Amino acid sequence: MQLTAATAISLNVDDPAASSAFLQAHFGFHEQMAADGFASLTREDAGVNVIFLRRGLPTLPADQRDEHAAGLILAFTVADLEGELARLRAEGVAITMPLTVEDWGERAFQVRDPNGVVIQLVDWLT
């Protein structure tokens, strides 16, 4: 298999504009494309585009239209986990999972966007 474009994750939410604004305001993404019920965001250093689709769009297959982005974690590996935690707190973002350290070396904390999408910032003990 040869990938020919950036990888993307597409999430169904009730309000794509709200999720888009959250990623732009707090995580440095910018909108690459947007329309009614659709927003595609990118960062030069992310290696993945994040797409938000409004639930119920007729362009989605019928069995996916009403699904909500649930049971997943949008995780970003960062260089300064404590610095990001302090920055987000200073910006008034609610930390929904405190900084934790797992036995396998992962350190992470979580926030939620306005649509309830879990965003996790992570680094690894070396």
Residue 126 pLDDT more than 80?
A: no
Task: Tell me the average pLDDT across 26-44.
Answer: 95
Say how far apart CA 74 and CA 11 lie, in whole Å. 10
Mean per-residue pLDDT of the chain: 93
Residue 47: how many CB atoms within 10 A of its CB? Answer: 9
pLDDT for res 46? 81
Say how far apart CA 42 and CA 6 lie, in whole Å. 10
Angle 96-35-27 (CA atoms, 0-180°, nearest 5)?
30
Residue 23: how many CB atoms within 10 A of its CB? Answer: 22
For residues 59 and 114, the model is more confident at 114
pLDDT tens-digit readout, 13-28: 999 999 999 999 999 9
pLDDT for res 55? 93
Q: Give the DSSP letter string of 56-67.
A: T-TTS-TTTTT-
pLDDT tens-digit readout, 90-125: 999 999 999 999 999 999 999 999 999 999 999 998
- Name the token pair of 60: 């989605």
Say how far apart CA 38 and CA 53 lie, in whole Å. 5
